[in-house]
Amino acid sequence: MTILLAPMEGLLDFVLRDILTRVGGIDRCVSEFIRVTGTLLPDRVFTRIVPELNNGGRTLAGVPVRPQLMGSDAVCLAENAAKLAALGPDGIDLNFGCPAKVVNRHGGGAALLQDPELLATIVSAVRRAVPQHVPVSAKMRLGFHDDRLAVACAQAIADSGADELVVHARTRADAYRPPAYWERVADIREAVPIPVVANGEIWTPQDAIRCREASGCHALMIGRGMVVNPGLALAIARPGHPPVQWADLLPLMGAFWELVATRVEPRQRAGRLKQWLNFLRRHYPQAEEAYVAIKSINDSTLITRHLVQIGAAPA
């Protein structure tokens, strides 16, 4: 089985990618989107969002990271894709799934699923602009208001030269509400000749098994489930592997905080740790206590002191 780490704006950035790929089980990551809005972006924008480009396109654990572009202007996307390809990424991904209103209002993300012809134009332009050895993939939802165009959109993407397609098994209208309609991913997989990856509502190894059975997909993409349980990919990829315990996670939390303290703006640092702990407490009871202890603290020094107390950082 191939397991991909999902892109999640404001959550799964390079810091958390670094930490989660250290645990194991993840075969590839897709970055949060790089917004393209009519200009040719300088290299520093690409490397700011995907600093792994300075490390051969991989996390420090050696896991490839595929940068994701988002926009609706085919020509501009193609020009930026060509510039990005020169930096040596694992491949280039296209965002056709973001449900954010501000993105959709400007015709990007999931809004593009209302126009299969425009999807085809974008994918064709990017594929022509990028060297043939650089894979071009895409991530889509089942649709915007409903899933009536799901197969047509997938076929437009595949027929226009995409090498792989990730399908988040919900529409934009569904947002992140369960369930995920994995059986609709099976319909798409049967309709296109390229590899299809199933995404959505995979929280446990049992969910992964059910998703594979319903979708027929060998590859899965996991997002929030990995943030909640960093050992999830390992548990899926290696059945019987000992679970990642809270004690195993503490040094990774310390490494996370060290990265945040050196690579994230000061005003955002405390919030980043609280955000991850808020997710972790769904799986680890000990995370609840840690979250409550720092919930009202914004001083980085005090947070470091608390992490030392619980054994997550060296004294």
Which residues are part of the catalytic machinery? 98
Nearest to 257 by CA among 204, 217, 302, 210: 302
